[in-house]
Amino acid sequence: MTRRAVFLDKDGTLIDDVPYNVDPDRIRLAVGASEGLPHLQAAGFRLIVISNQSGVARGLFAEAALEAVRERLTQLLADIGVELDGFYYCPHHPDGVVPEYAVACHCRKPQPGGILAAAQTHGIALEESWFVGDILDDVEAGRRAGCRTLLLDNGHETEWKRTPWRWPDLVARDLAEAARLIARPL
């Protein structure tokens, strides 16, 4: 059987958006996650986080702080009967103040490097997979990687800069609706 995944943006998609947060006690699943994620996993999708974490490059927190975030997400998902299959993040930003992270890279969305790395590691068929995010950079990264895409229209996209790469296949209000749309029979 082909391995397929739903790649999930973290902040504003999987969890409530609290800018530059690495405090596990402030991490809460986003609206619809408790309903939608078990549905996706039951439909045979692996669940993999792909996140930009420019707070590292900006000197706001150490890269090591992201381990506690991964652990908290793993626990929150386990509490609803869901396994997190992967947690990938980009610590870079070209305008960062920490020299080793102040670079342009291929893992920072809208580039697809994080998705491609996760797909290779987990043996994921990208053409049978989805990227779900709350801004058009997420959509662009997913499309560039060869995934179908779903935009959570939850008010987080503010620029609406459209290019051919930035048109989602589907739009949903939250992860519960996203799961129903993604897992429906074709």
Provide the CATH number for the domain around residue 46. 3.40.50.1000
Domain coverage including residue 9? 4-183
Distance of CA 176 to the CA centre of its chain: 15
Q: CB–CB of 167/139 below 8 Å?
A: yes
Per residue in 156-176, pLDDT tens?
A: 777 778 899 999 999 999 999
**Dist. CA 148–CA 101, nearest whole Å:** 30
pLDDT value at position 185?
62
For every residue of 87-155, DSSP letters joined together read EEEE---TT-SSGGG-S--SSSTTSSHHHHHHHHHHTB-GGG-EEEESSHHHHHHHHHHT-EEEEE-SS
The model's pTM: 0.95
Residues with a catalytic annotation lie at 9, 11
Q: Calculate mean pLDDT across residues 68-75.
A: 97
The number of distinct structural domains making up the chain is 1
HSE-CB for 131 with a 13 A CA cutoff:
35
Average pLDDT over residues 59-74: 97
Q: What are phi and psi of 165, to 5 degrees?
A: -80, -15
Give the pLDDT mean for 1-12: 90
